[in-house]
Amino acid sequence: MNQVPNNSNNSLVLRLAVMFAVSAALLLTALGSTTYWLLDHEFRKDETRVLDDTVALLETIFRQNEDLVETLQREIPLDMEALHFHQYQLRILDEHGAKLYETRRFPTLSSDFLARVPIYQEGGLGEGVVWQQGETSFLVVQALAIREKGSREKIRLQVAMDTSQKTRTLTAYRRAMFLLVSLGVLLAAFLAGLISRRGLRPLSLMTRLVQRLKVDQLHQRFSSRRWPQELVPLAQEFDRLLDEIQVGMERLSHFSTDLAHELRTPLTSMMLQAEVTLAQERSLEVYQDVLGSSVEELERLSTLVERLLLLARTEAARPHLEPQEIKVRELVENLVEYHLTAHPRDQVVIQVPEDALLVADRRLVEMALGNLLSNASKYSVFPVRIEWLEHSNEWIIAVQDRGPGIAAEHLPYLFDRLYRVDTSRTTASHGLGLALVRSAMRAHGGDVHLHSSMGQGSRFQLHFPRPNSSTTLHSAG
């Protein structure tokens, strides 16, 4: 048995590893991005709180001290010394824009940048605007402070908090996260490959079992092994297929044997008659009798071949069906008149409504029902009843007789080719009629069912599936 080539491009293990790797990349990226956003958000909240406190302190100093610059020169170094993690720089302008005070490391901010920084009134600063130059970054806010005294005095506070350390921390975090995600993806792909190979081992075992199957090993069954739950349906389907193949092989073997017997009997008869006739000179009448007997045997062989060809064409007819609306009552009456003409008409009961319609291939329906009526004419005890039944998903034509019935041991094989219940009828039947019936029904997607009891008669039912398209049909009543 040829082995299936290993195509790495279609490897299930590779696909699972890639899917695991992509999933891990998405998950780790989402987690890292969320953590990065939360960390940056917390940093920003902390910076905003410190800026609020700083501006509030400066506003308090401005209101309570007449000599603002002297007080700032004394208080600001002390405040900045207390803030180890949030160093800030300060610039104070008067209401005309003249600089009143500025710390030594206040950044050089352009006028365009300052124009983009909103000037807040008392009651909240917002988040500020980031200014960055090289590796140095500041979070800048502007606020307007007012001191009530004889005349309203205004100053503008510009506070720039050094966020360079935070920026470096976040940059290092991004790099570390990128490295961790890359390593995580590679590790996930590697582990996924190992896990997938181990998880798919039962499937590989099933593949090897299928590859080792041979015609003489069709008795093996997959369900006898313990498979993972996902493979149990596949094992059951393999067993079902093996059952069908085994039954088909057995029936094919029986069919070959029976066909050889069917062909050997007339050929042997003709050979013996010819040898005996040629053994010595015979009269003209003897030669005529021998030739007449040979012609009968040849006609029987010709009929057998024609019916086998008809069976083969019927089995291949499904893709070429010509479905049409058939008036069932008219069809049944015509077939009864043709096949049961030797029996009194009152012995045939037709229970088919006048308006019953069937959508099917007329030629195959005539062949299937005609074979049943032909068998009824030969083997049944009359009266014979023909019924029409209609269901939501199928139509049924039934042929019921009151004959002796068929023994249970014959029922599984009755529709096989060349199978005969009465083997003494070698000249009357080839055992192909019911095989043709089943083949015609399966060509329609339906089937033929038989219910028979000894001493109570037999009932054949032709089951036709109703098509999906809407067809107006009437009940049998």
Instruction: State the pLDDT at residue 463.
Output: 93
Q: How many Å apart are CA 232 and CA 406, to the nearest integer?
A: 39
Between the CA atoms of 189, 190, 193 and 195, what dihedral angle is there, to the nearest 10 degrees?
-110
pLDDT tens digits, one per residue of 430-464: 566 787 788 888 888 888 898 888 878 889 999 99
In one-letter notation, the amino acid at residue 427 is T
Q: How many Å apart are CA 115 and CA 118, to the nearest integer?
A: 7
Q: How many Å apart are CA 385 and CA 387, to the nearest integer?
A: 6
**Average pLDDT of the chain to the nearest whole number:** 78
pLDDT tens digits, one per residue of 130-160: 888 877 888 888 888 877 654 567 888 888 8
Determine whether domain 12-174 maps to CATH 3.40.1350: no
Q: How many Å apart are CA 372 and CA 263, to the nearest integer?
A: 25
Q: How many Å apart are CA 395 and CA 463, to the nearest integer?
A: 6
Buried b (16+ CB within 10 A) or exposed e, 391-408: eeeebbbbbbbebbbbee
3-class state of residue 348 by DSSP = strand
Does the N-terminal peptide bond of residue 383 adopt cis geometry, omega within 30 degrees of 0?
yes
Q: How many Å apart are CA 102 and CA 51, to the nearest integer?
A: 17
Higher pLDDT: 9 or 21? It is 21
Instruction: State the pLDDT at residue 398.
Output: 93
Write out the two tokens for 439: 């083949």
pLDDT tens digits, one per residue of 358-410: 998 888 888 888 888 888 887 777 788 899 999 888 999 999 888 777 877 77
Which sign does the torsion angle of CA 237, 240, 244, 245 carry? positive
Give CATH for domain 229-313.
Answer: 1.10.287
Q: How many Å apart are CA 223 and CA 233, to the nearest integer?
A: 9
What average pLDDT does the segment 83-101 reach?
77
Which residues does residue 452 pair with via DSSP β-bridges, in sequence order? 458
List, in sequence order, the alpha helices (H) in 340-384: 362-379
Q: What is the DSSP letter of 304?
A: H
Element (H, E) at 26: helix 12-64
**Which residue has tokens 């299936």?**
4
Highest-pLDDT range among 35-39, 189-193, 295-299: 35-39
Between the CA atoms of 40, 41, 43 and 48, what dihedral angle is there, to the nearest 10 degrees?
140
Determine whether domain 322-465 maps to CATH 3.30.565.10: yes
| 3-state secondary structure string across 393-460 | CEEEEEEECCCCCCCHHHHHHCCCCCCCCCCCCCCCCCCCHHHHHHHHHHHCCCEEEEEEECCCEEEE
3-class state of residue 465 by DSSP = strand
* Domain boundary assignment for the chain: 12-174, 229-313, 322-465
pLDDT tens digits, one per residue of 315-362: 555 556 778 899 999 999 988 888 887 677 778 888 999 999 999 888
Answer yes or no: are the C-beta atoms of 443 and 314 closer than 8 Å.
yes
pLDDT tens digits, one per residue of 198-239: 877 888 887 887 877 777 667 777 777 787 777 788 888 888
**Which residue has tokens 């005996």?**
276
**Which residue has tokens 């009151």?**
402
Answer yes or no: are the C-beta atoms of 428 and 378 closer than 8 Å.
yes
Instruction: State the pLDDT at residue 150.
Output: 46
Does the predicted TM-score (pTM) go above 0.75? no
